[in-house]
Amino acid sequence: MRKYILTCICPSYIVSEINKTFYLRDTWVLSEKEYNQPFVQRLLRMGVFSVAIKQECRMKKKPPTTKIPPFVKMRGGVPKTTPTPPSQQGVSEQSLKDIVQAEMAQMKQQIVQEISGELSSMLQQQGGAQMDMEALGKLITQSIQASLPVGGVAPAQQVQATPIDEDDEPIYIPSNITGSGIVSGSSMSVESISTDDSVSDAASALRAMKKKRKK
């Protein structure tokens, strides 16, 4: 069933038919039958009210769905995974500390091994001459860099939340606008002039550009 919501768009107006005064932004809800009354139509034509149409319809109730925040929303078709038991989700601070310490120790050992190997070969090459301190510095830097893990975690990027489609509000566009059967009279004057083809250059330039792009 349609409902017509009339909103007063003039400072004040007395509707004598219903003996009521409407002030700016006052609303008046009418049924289709009431809306089609001649005096209502006349008020609309006079620009006293603006009208909004509301279509009431019964819809099948949707089962309640839990809304997932956009940043964890999965695409359709992704297989469901069994939830991880809560005991496995948390990592204790101590175990994390142990892992880091073990890895650090391993890396240190690797650096020492690499430096000592290179150092001994350098000393052999130079035959006991004084060690070049600059070369030694470079060697240490290279060794440390080589032992560091390649890659790394990318800095966290701000994920823009995509709005969840709240039931998309439909836009009502009336049909049969030009042939609503109300025009029955005379014609109207339309100013008509003929100019020289001032846009032929533009049309040919656009055509040329289109061809060029295709090539």
Partner 1 sequence: MSKKKQLGVGIDLGTMNIVSARQGEKGIDIRRIRDAFLDLDLSAKKMLKLSGVDFIERENEILLIGDAALETANVFGQEARRPLSQGLISAGEIDAIEVLGILVRHVLGEPTEKNEVCYFSIPAAPVDDLTRDVIYHEGVFERIVQECGYDAVASNEAMAIIFSDCAKEGFSGLAISFGAGMCNIALAINTIEGLCFSVARGGDWIDAGASKATGSTQSKITALKEAGIDLLNPKTREEEALAVYYKSLIKYCLKHIANEFKKIKGKFSMPKPIPLVISGGTSKAGGFVEFFQQVFEEQRSRFPIEISEIRHAKDPLNAVALGLYVQAQNEYDED
Cβ 178 to partner 1 shortest distance, Å: 4
CB 131 within 8 A of CB 122: yes
- Interaction of residue 157 with partner 1, rule CB under 8 A: no
Q: Which stretch binds partner 1 (CB under 8 A): 21-29, 48-56, 98-106, 108-116?
A: 48-56
- Interaction of residue 210 with partner 1, rule CB under 8 A: yes
3-state SS assignment for residue 84: coil
Within 8 A by CB and 6+ apart from 13, the residues are 21, 22, 43, 48
> What CA–CA distance (Å, rounded) separates 161 from 207?
42
Q: Which of 50/126 has CB closer to partner 1?
A: 50
Cβ 32 to partner 1 shortest distance, Å: 13
How many angstroms separate the Cα of 27 from the Cα of each of 12, 13, 57, 168, 204? Answer: 12, 12, 22, 25, 55
Cβ 134 to partner 1 shortest distance, Å: 42
Cβ 168 to partner 1 shortest distance, Å: 11
CB 71 within 8 A of CB 159: yes
Q: Which stretch binds partner 1 (CB under 8 A): 74-82, 89-97, 130-138, 183-191?
A: 183-191
Q: Taking the mean position of all CA atoms in its chain, how far away is CA 134?
A: 54
CB 107 within 8 A of CB 149: no
Cβ 56 to partner 1 shortest distance, Å: 17
Q: What are residue 31's DSSP bridge partners?
A: 3
- Interaction of residue 45 with partner 1, rule CB under 8 A: yes
Give the DSSP letter of residue 71.
G
- Interaction of residue 193 with partner 1, rule CB under 8 A: yes
3-state SS assignment for residue 21: strand
Q: Which of 149/174 has CB closer to partner 1?
A: 174
Cβ 149 to partner 1 shortest distance, Å: 32
Applying CB under 8 A, the site for partner 1 has a residue count of: 47
Q: Which of 133/182 has CB closer to partner 1?
A: 182
Applying CB under 8 A, among 53, 68, 148, 161 the residue interacting with partner 1 is 53
Residue whose C-alpha is closest to residue 22's, from 12, 33, 36, 7? 12
Task: Return residues touching partner 1 (CB under 8 A).
Answer: 7, 38, 42, 44-47, 50-53, 171, 173-180, 182-199, 201-203, 205-207, 209-210, 214
